């Protein structure tokens, strides 16, 4: 199998920000998710959390994180996001976080969708850790991306 050259490294192997100036602007979207596994007792206690509604705070944190991705991930380009959505849903064994990000630009929004999901999950953990320090953050995954030269990619089977 041929080894793919990674664009975030120059000829000398040094990390660099990719020059996207020659790329065409296209509509780009990405969807991601994360899951915060917790006990059923913790799930039942979420509405009574003295810190406030952890699900709503997590939703806002995810949106803010998507907008700040380039501040957190060194080689990410700052993007003018046209839309970010974070949905937080209670499930039987935890909290499912689903995110979407979009822009019209020269580079994709996969990292923004993933950052939104991860920070929202960390926020759920932070706001409920007094109840359950054994929670786990699982299944941080890119589900789909559209736009750009490579077109559409979808995860065949979300884990």
Give me the active site residues, please.
126
Is the pLDDT at 18 greater than 90, yes or no? no
Beta carbons of 99 and 29 less than 8 angstroms apart: no
Is the pLDDT at 158 greater than 60, yes or no? no
| Closest to 109 measured CA to CA, from 143, 158, 59 | 143
Q: What is the pTM of this model?
A: 0.88
Q: For the residues 51-71, what does the mean pLDDT come to?
A: 95
Is the pLDDT at 77 greater than 70, yes or no? yes
- The per-residue pLDDT for 80 is 95
Where do the structural domains in the chain lie, given as residue ranges?
26-153
Cβ neighbours of 116 (radius 10 Å): 33
Is the pLDDT at 159 greater than 90, yes or no? no
Q: Which fold has domain 26-153?
A: Alpha-Beta Plaits (3.30.70)
pLDDT tier for residue 1 given thresholds of 50, 70 and 90: very low
- The per-residue pLDDT for 10 is 65
| Closest to 129 measured CA to CA, from 58, 34, 32, 65 | 58
| Closest to 78 measured CA to CA, from 113, 117, 116, 112 | 112
Residue with the two structure tokens 């990000």: 101
Q: What is the pLDDT of residues 80-131, one digit of tens each?
A: 999 999 999 999 999 999 999 999 998 889 999 999 999 999 999 999 999 8
Q: For the residues 55-74, what does the mean pLDDT come to?
A: 96
């Amino acid at each position: 199998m041929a080894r793919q050259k990674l664009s975030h490294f120059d000829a000398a192997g040094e990390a660099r920000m990719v020059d996207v100036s020659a790329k065409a602007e296209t509509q780009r979207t990405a969807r991601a998710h994360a899951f915060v596994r917790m006990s059923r007792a913790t799930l039942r206690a979420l509405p009574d959390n003295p810190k406030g509604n952890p699900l709503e705070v997590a939703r806002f944190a995810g949106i803010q994180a998507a907008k700040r991705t380039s501040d957190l991930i060194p080689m990410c380009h700052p993007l003018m996001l046209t839309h970010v959505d974070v949905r937080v849903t209670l499930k039987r064994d935890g909290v499912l976080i689903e995110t979407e990000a979009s822009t019209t630009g020269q580079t994709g929004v996969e990292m923004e969708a993933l950052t939104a999901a991860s920070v929202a999950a960390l926020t759920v953990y932070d706001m409920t850790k007094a109840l359950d320090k054994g929670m786990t953050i699982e299944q941080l995954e890119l589900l789909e991306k559209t736009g750009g030269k490579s077109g559409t990619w979808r995860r065949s089977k979300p884990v």
